[in-house]
Structure 1
Amino acid sequence: MVDSMSLNDYVKYMTQTVVQHLEKSPQERRTIKELRKTERPAFLFRWFGVIPYALMLFFKRK
């Protein structure tokens, strides 16, 4: 019974999330998407960690 309740809660949460997303206007969704893109860290930092980013900064100074 515990598993069915957690599944039920998950379905309820997902349904609420989808409905909230669909109720937003297309412009509002677009601005949220653009904000997420600008807040995203650099490609090298995201994929390979701090070391390539530190090396890049080190070589830029020279």
Structure 2
Amino acid sequence: MKSDEYVRFLTEQFVRYMETPREERQKVRLQQKENRPPIRNLLFGQIPDAIESYTSTIRERIKKRRK
């Protein structure tokens, strides 16, 4: 991508951003925040989910043995 094409692209994006109403931009920002994965998944990947799943199955087994 040439520099003039890149500048044109940036200005188009900026103009599009400025033309959208503030309320719509805030709605989009909130939707993006809600759809974001938890911070622990971003930092550690699927390891926390795997540990949680493993511990929950162990807890269920312990509860069944107590009955």
Instruction: Give the TM-score, by structure 1 length.
Output: 0.79
Q: 5-14 vs 35-44, which deviates more? A: 5-14
SS at match of 1:41: coil
Identity score, percent: 28
The answer for unaligned runs of 5 or more in structure 2 is 60-67
1:25 match? 21
2:64 match? none
Q: Which has the larger radius of gyration?
A: 2
The answer for unaligned runs of 5 or more in structure 1 is none
Paired AA for residue 55 in structure 1: I
2:40 match? 44
Alignment coverage as a number of residue pairs? 57
Using the alignment, how far apart are the partners of 2:54 and 2:38 within structure 1? Answer: 16
Runs ≥4 in structure 1, deviation > 6 angstroms?
none
Using the alignment, how far apart are the partners of 1:58 and 1:15 within structure 2? Answer: 50
Report 1 or 2 for greater relative contact order, CA contacts < 8 Å, sequence distance ≥ 6.
1
Q: Is structure 2 residue 9 aligned with structure 1 residue 7?
A: no
